[in-house]
Amino acid sequence: MDGLTEAKLRALAGARSFDRGLGYLDAVTGVEVGDAWVTATVHGTQRYKVELALDEPGGLVSECDCPYGLEGNFCKHLVALGLTLLARRESLPRQRRAAQNRAQDLDAWLSGLSGEELLALVRDQVAEDRQLRRRLELRAASARGDLAGVRARVRELLDIGPFAQYGYVEYADARAYSDQAGQAVSAITALTASGRADDAIALAREAMQLLAEAVESIDDSDGGLGQAGAALADAHHEACRAARPDPEELARWLVGHVLGDADDLTDIDPLDYEDVLGDRGMTVLRELAVGAWRRNRTGWAEKYLMERLAKAGGAVDTLVAVHAADLAPDGRTHLVIARELDLAGRPGQALEWAERGIRDARDLAAVDIALVDHLSDRYTRVGRLPDAVALRRHHFGARRTLLTYRQLRAAALAADCWQDERERALALLRADAEQRQEGWGSGPVLIDALLDEKDVDAAWRAATETGADEQQWLTLADQARGHRPADALGIYLRLAEPLTRQTGNTAYEQLVSLLLSIRDCHRRRGTLDEFTTYITALRTAQRRKRNLMRLMDQHGL
């Protein structure tokens, strides 16, 4: 309990979740204190179960079954429980000692019961608790070697029927179904532990198919079914390591599984089975994967399997062939190939593939920007600076943006040819600005480029001739007010005027920022009396906006 502090809760949750947790203090009910844990229910969008384990060696351990908590986050519901415990700090040690005494008393009582009395107690609990009954039925069937009984119970647990209305399991019932699926996985794991790994393999595969069919009819927003699928994959892998099935049969099943629909839920990686498959099984696995890929070279699952096998075996040429069979028109696949060849120590071929990606692109404006960056970087590394400039020039010609202008400038400066490139680039941007239609949302890129270079006078002329958007005018005024305060003042006054008709803190903050700039312009011009007259009139007209008045007061306006 010493590690539980308000500062610790804030650090674990983050400021946003912590602040939200403050609003849930009245929603915490059913607080139960154990020796080393505390549980409760927090009423939010639904009722969520929360638990804090205290005094753990690794720090505060927590669980909440809300969607955010299931992802491993310290959510607002846990914050609410933690703050509730802090409010009860004085009574908590006493409650924990009482819980420990109760646990010891219960253990002593159970230890003193006879076998018949314990059996009667268990039978009473089984009659009252359906979940306990199912778990014990599974254990009993497994213990007596009744595979048919275990299979029947597993199929019953994975049946969506009891949870589904009109054939679909809604979000409110999905967690209960996922819990049942977890029980089925536990039963399969128990088969392996009892020396029946062969049966566990068969049952795990059957359960995977059942889960794959069920997931289509379940709202698994919380990901509970995905967790059950991952646990089922682990159970299958564990059973295979124990039973050592026929390598060729296992290879065939693995390929069929990863290329089928069930793998979306279990996400099995065949390479995890390499120690079970051995050389013979891996050979069959590769042959089957190659055959499947050749039949469907553009299939995502087939490509991914081939890619995994090729990378694991260091087969770069195979990896290149897999990607080359389905090249994207924007060049991103060429980039993948180039990077793989670079990693393999084959820079010449890597460069050829990157260049081919640019050549093959039907539209340079749509080419993957990462490919352009990659090729430009490679040209620069090997001293081919003119080629880097030409690439950036062509890309800028196809995509005339501030980013591509900056990239062209960087390449040309490195090649000591920026002056000529700049004139050509600005000519293109000037032509775009002259053709720009009134009412477009963003201003000319020409203005952005000139402002980026701090060429204020040229930017001012261009804005006057071709127009600019409000953000560009504001930036222009900010850059110009040092030597053109009168011009900047006109812009600030024009931008401030519509804000005086708006309400809300965002508008007020923008207006005050402009007022500070207006005052600075008057100061530079030596006309602060004019500013005093302006601000007095403004305060009179805006006096009902209390938040604006408060903000102006804070800034001395």
pLDDT, tens digit (0-9, with 9 covering 90-100), for 164-199: 877 888 887 888 888 888 888 988 888 898 888 999
If asked whether residues 438 and 489 sit together in one domain, one would say no
C-alpha 194/C-alpha 188 separation (Å) is 10
Residue 232 within a domain:
no
Region of poorest pLDDT, from 46-60, 516-530, 532-546: 46-60
If asked whether residues 537 and 555 sit together in one domain, one would say yes
Give the structural domain span for 398.
387-469
pLDDT over threshold 60, residue 338: yes
> What pLDDT is recorded for position 203?
94
If asked whether residues 513 and 556 sit together in one domain, one would say yes
Beta-carbon count within 10 A of 417 CB: 14
If asked whether residues 43 and 103 sit together in one domain, one would say yes
- The SS3 call for residue 405 is helix
pTM for this entry? 0.65
> What pLDDT is recorded for position 136?
78
Last residue of a domain, one of 408, 439, 469: 469
If asked whether residues 366 and 398 sit together in one domain, one would say no
If asked whether residues 350 and 409 sit together in one domain, one would say no
If asked whether residues 57 and 107 sit together in one domain, one would say yes
> What pLDDT is recorded for position 235?
94
If asked whether residues 539 and 459 sit together in one domain, one would say no
Beta-carbon count within 10 A of 203 CB: 24
Residue 409 within a domain:
yes
Give the DSSP letter string of 66-109.
Answer: SHHHHTT---HHHHHHHHHHHHTTTTHHHHHHHHHHHHHHHHHH
Residue 200 within a domain:
no
| Average pLDDT rounded to a whole number, residues 238-243 | 95
| Burial (CB count within 10 angstroms: exposed 0-12, middle 13-18, buried 19+), residue 38 | buried
> What pLDDT is recorded for position 227?
86
Residue 127 within a domain:
no
Residue 416 within a domain:
yes
Map 101-136 to HEC letters.
HHHHHHHHHHHHCCHHHHHHHHHHHHHHCHHHHHHH
C-alpha 44/C-alpha 22 separation (Å) is 13
> What pLDDT is recorded for position 361?
85
Give which of 50, 59, 57, 43 is closest to 11, Cα–Cα: 59
Q: Which residue has the higher pLDDT, 137 or 210?
A: 210
If asked whether residues 35 and 99 sit together in one domain, one would say yes
Residue 444 within a domain:
yes
If asked whether residues 42 and 108 sit together in one domain, one would say yes
pLDDT over threshold 80, residue 540: yes
> In the numeric block, which tokens belong to residue 375?
């090729």
> What pLDDT is recorded for position 3?
66
Domain tally for the chain? 4
At residue 262's C-alpha, the angle toward residues 259 and 268, to 5°, is: 70
Last residue of a domain, one of 336, 358, 382: 382
Chain mean pLDDT for the chain: 89
Residue 213 within a domain:
no
Sequence-ordered alpha helix ranges (H) in 361-504? 369-381, 385-398, 402-414, 418-435, 445-452, 456-466, 470-480, 485-499
C-alpha 161/C-alpha 143 separation (Å) is 28
Per-residue pLDDT tens over the stretch 455-496? 999 999 999 988 888 999 999 999 999 888 999 999 999 999
When pLDDT is cut at 50, 70 and 90, the band that residue 57 belongs to is low
Tracing tokens 């003042």 back to the chain, one arrives at: 489
When pLDDT is cut at 50, 70 and 90, the band that residue 1 belongs to is low
Last residue of a domain, one of 89, 112, 135: 112
What letters, b where the CB count within 10 A reaches 16 and e where it falls short, cover 149-180? ebbebbeebbebeebbeeeebeeebbbebbeb
If asked whether residues 374 and 398 sit together in one domain, one would say no
Lay out the sheet containing 47-53: strands in order across. 28-33, 37-43, 47-53, 61-64
pLDDT over threshold 60, residue 2: no
What letters, b where the CB count within 10 A reaches 16 and e where it falls short, cover 98-121? ebeeeeeeeeeeeeeeeeeeeeee
Sequence-ordered alpha helix ranges (H) in 467-527? 470-480, 485-499, 505-525
Per-residue pLDDT tens over the stretch 267-297? 899 999 999 999 999 999 999 999 999 999 8
Residue 263 within a domain:
no
- Residue 207: its H or E element: helix 197-215
Q: Which residues, in sequence order, are CB contacts of 251 under 8 Å at separation 6+?
A: 270, 277, 281, 282, 284, 285, 288
| Average pLDDT rounded to a whole number, residues 87-111 | 86
If asked whether residues 407 and 420 sit together in one domain, one would say yes
DSSP state of 260: S
> What pLDDT is recorded for position 59?
65
Beta-carbon count within 10 A of 46 CB: 11
Sign (positive or negative) of CA dihedral 538, 544, 546, 547? negative
